[in-house]
Amino acid sequence: MIVEKPWLKHYPADIPQTLNYPDQPLFALLDEAAQKHGKATALIYFGQKISYEQLQEMTERFAAALVQIGAQPGEKISLMLPNIPQFVIAFYGALKAGLTVVQTNPLYTEDELQVVLGDSQAETLITLDRFYEKVLHLKGKANLKRIIVTGVQEFFPGLLRLGYLLKERPKRIRPSPPSVYLFSDLIRHAPAHPPKILVRPSEIALFQYTGGTTGIPKGAMLTHKNLVANTLQARAWFPRVQPAQETCLCVLPLFHVYAMTVALNLSMAIAAALILVPRFQIDELLKTIDRQRPTLLPGAPTLYAAIANHSRVREYNVSSIKACISGSAPLPLEVKRRFEELTGASLVEGYGLSEASPVTHCNPLYGRQVAGSIGIPFPDTNAKIVDPASGRELPVGEIGELVIQGPQVMAGYWNRPEETAMALRGGWLHTGDLARMDEDGYFYIVDRLKEMIICSGLKVYPREVEEVLYKHPKVLEAAVVGAPDAYRGETVKALIVPRPGTSPTADEIKAFCAEHLAKYKVPTIVEFRESLPKSIIGKVLKKELR
């Protein structure tokens, strides 16, 4: 058994091996920041600023408004919003009212939205006016009692430049049905003090919908305690940040738990200024970095690749960035090298999943970093590698399923006791990811169990092939999947986006791979594409490619 936790000897001196977790709800992070640094900037949105004391007041007004319109503690509220101030206000305000937040992608189709609303039984939903009609169509099919509508120009009326977010100029929704409310009206008329509702740390703060380890959408139930713990674990991983002195740029969607913890909640914990970017456009992003001078930039590999590969990146000053944790997908080594060379920042790969709030592992920002590794477990987090079939712990170096224990691990899946028992069997969270651990306690994700390719009985891990492809000078992006093969069962297929101005050939790619990989791992099929399908956080959608 792993008892000694070999990774602990690689903890930098300024990162504690164990933490004290206050017995408090998640929104206490905001309230403490407002108490200690009330005049400091909390949010930056296209140049507009909101201080911590202003943000605290608005969250308390929104909490009071929810109570006034009939929302009861324990009810679910769906947040269907992009990265705008209303998201932050609604998120912490809902928690102060004792509600559970249901994270909802604003780009969901009606069918996808109906699944989330139906499963969660959300009774309140807040959304943009551009999505109002889509939501209204589902009102009779869902459990909704209240719809709260806002517009990107409603909160800061002068920001006409935000029109690119909408297909047409926002229309003011008239709250004619009793169940439809305007966000601005609720904030304006509610009292400036929170409702007297006791929120216990053990209560569910968040439903984070995920495919989990089985691919079936379900709500991971994350408690206030889970989210506070993971936020403080992440805080410990940034030992050099200065309270009320940092600026964090958030382009990842806040409805994704990675941004929720490492951007939003972490910013509250250190009283950082959080720059909200509602849509990823690389030119606008570089201008924002040049103008606002962020010091922290959590992201996905595609974000760092877009910055590092931009043809005019040296026209912008990106030297303010000091620390970056990459998550949601494997970080190609070449992307890390180019980004760090360009910015001077420390960019490290981490790992997490929705069921763990989400972060469990990371390379130290200012310690021993191991290329290709997801690093070492967070404080108070245990991990081991087990045989997927038997659950037997495997020796150092062997590949098996990564399983995790820690204070950030979910309470379970909403209304799915059997799947909860399967995911948390034996007291460990079973991730569904194939990994190995070296003798120093550094972990390496090999691939998803379901994405492993079996060629003539031999195992091929797509990530290993992708790392080789990213080293090719003509490859901008790459993904590897298994393709049916009458003789081998499966064969390796590479899908490649060439670098602009280059025209690699399939034979050229195969020959390059043959120099670095065993013969059975070399792609037999090479397909060139203009782009790869990605999720909203930049993860390549291999299911679509397959």
CATH code, domain with 519: 3.30.300.30
Domain final position from 199, 218, 252: 199
By the 8 A CB rule, do 65 and 190 touch?
Answer: yes
Q: What is the pLDDT of residue 456?
A: 67
Tokens of 392: 């037997």
Quick check: is 139 in a domain? yes
- Mapping DSSP to helix (H, G, I), strand (E, B) and coil, where does residue 384 land? strand
pLDDT for 400 equals 94
- Residue 188 and residue 268 share a domain: no
Question: What are the CA-CA distances from residue 354 to residues 329, 416, 443, 450 (Å)?
Answer: 13, 16, 19, 18
Helix axis angle for 301-308 and 282-292, nearest 10°, is 80
pTM of the entire predicted model: 0.84
Q: What is the DSSP string of 205-216?
A: EEEEEE-TTTT-
Q: C-alpha angle with apex 451: 465 to 219, nearest 5 degrees?
A: 135
205 inside domain: no
- How many CA atoms lie within 13 Å of 29's alpha carbon, on the beta-carbon side? 30
Q: Which CATH number does the domain housing residue 365 bear?
A: 3.40.50.12780
Asked whether the beta carbons of 235 and 284 are under 8 A apart, the reply is no
Task: For 485-523, write each residue's pLDDT tens digit.
Answer: 866 778 999 999 999 999 999 999 999 999 988 888 999
Residues whose CB is less than 8 angstroms from the CB of residue 371 and which lie 6 or more positions away in sequence, other chains included = 333, 336
Cis-peptide, bond into residue 358, ω within 30° of zero:
yes
Residues 180 and 268 in one domain: no
How far apart CA 360 and CA 237 sit, in angstroms, is 11
DSSP conformation class of 296: B
Residue 453's pLDDT is 83
209: number of Cβ within 10 Å:
24
Strands 382-386 and 218-223: unpaired
Which stretches in the chain have pLDDT values below 70? 1-3, 139-140, 153-178, 211-216, 449, 456-457, 459, 486-487
Burial 263-301 (b: 16+ CB within 10 A, else e): bbbbbbbbbbbbbbbbebeeeebbebbeeeebbbbbbbb
Other CB atoms within 10 Å distance of the CB of residue 189:
11
Same structural domain for residues 195 and 227? no
Q: E-strand spans in 228-342?
A: 247-250, 273-276, 323-326
pLDDT at 161: 38
Final residue before a domain boundary, out of 410, 433, 448: 448
**What pLDDT does 538 receive?**
74
- pLDDT 10s digits, 278-291: 989 999 999 999 99
**Strand 346-352 to strand 323-326: parallel, antiparallel, or no bridges (unpaired)?**
parallel
Name which of 336, 344, 351, 347 is nearest 305 in CA terms. 336
Range of the domain at 421: 6-21+210-448
* DSSP-derived 3-state class of residue 91: helix
Q: Are residues 183 and 229 in the same domain?
A: no
The per-residue pLDDT for 461 is 76
Name the CA radius of gyration of the chain, rounded.
Answer: 23
CA distance 50 to 34: 11
What residues have CB less than 8 Å from 266, skipping those under 6 apart?
Answer: 231, 234, 235, 238, 248, 272
Identify whether the C-beta of residue 62 lies closer than 8 Å to the C-beta of residue 193: no
* Distance between CA atoms of residues 479 and 103, nearest Å: 28
Indicate whether 382 and 472 sit together in one domain: no
278/394 same-domain check: yes
pLDDT of residue 258: 94
| CATH code (residue 168) | 3.40.50.980
What letters, b where the CB count within 10 A reaches 16 and e where it falls short, cover 20-47? ebeebbbbbbbbbbbeebbebbbbbbbe
Same domain, 379 and 486: no
Domain shared by 379 and 510, yes or no: no
Within a domain: 1:
no
CA distance 145 to 71: 9
- Inter-residue contact 36 to 428 (CB < 8 Å): no
CA angle 237, 540, 299 (to 5 degrees): 25
CB-based burial label for 216 (10 Å; 0-12, 13-18, 19+): exposed
Give a yes or no: residue 476 inside a domain. Answer: yes
Query: Residue 212: what pLDDT?
Result: 47
Query: Which amino acid type is present at position 92?
Result: Y
| Distance set, CA 344 to CA 12, 17, 341 (Å) | 20, 28, 6
Q: How many structural domains are present in the chain?
A: 3
pLDDT at 85: 95
Please check whether residues 35 and 112 belong to one and the same domain.
Answer: yes
Q: Give the domain-ending residue among 410, 426, 448.
A: 448
Residue 41 lies in a domain: yes
Strands 100-103 and 204-210, bridge-based pairing: parallel
Q: Is residue 366 part of a domain?
A: yes
- Check residue 488 and give its pLDDT: 72
Please report the pLDDT score of residue 463 as a whole number.
Answer: 80
63 and 16 in one domain? Answer: no
CB contact at 8 A, 219 and 119:
yes
How far the first Cα of the chain sits from its last, in Å, is: 37
Output the pLDDT for position 520: 84
Among 101, 4, 85, smallest CA distance to 51 is for: 85
Phi-psi region of 195 (alpha: psi -120 to 50; beta: other; left: phi over 0): beta
Query: Does 503 fall in a domain?
Result: yes
Q: What are the pLDDT digits (tens) for 198-213? A: 999 999 999 999 864 4
SS3 content of the chain, % helix, strand, coil (to 5): 35, 25, 40
Tell me, what's the pLDDT at 153?
Answer: 66
Q: Do 257 and 126 lie in a common domain?
A: no
- In-domain check, residue 263: yes
266 lies in the same domain as 226: yes
β-bridge mates for residue 269, sequence order: none
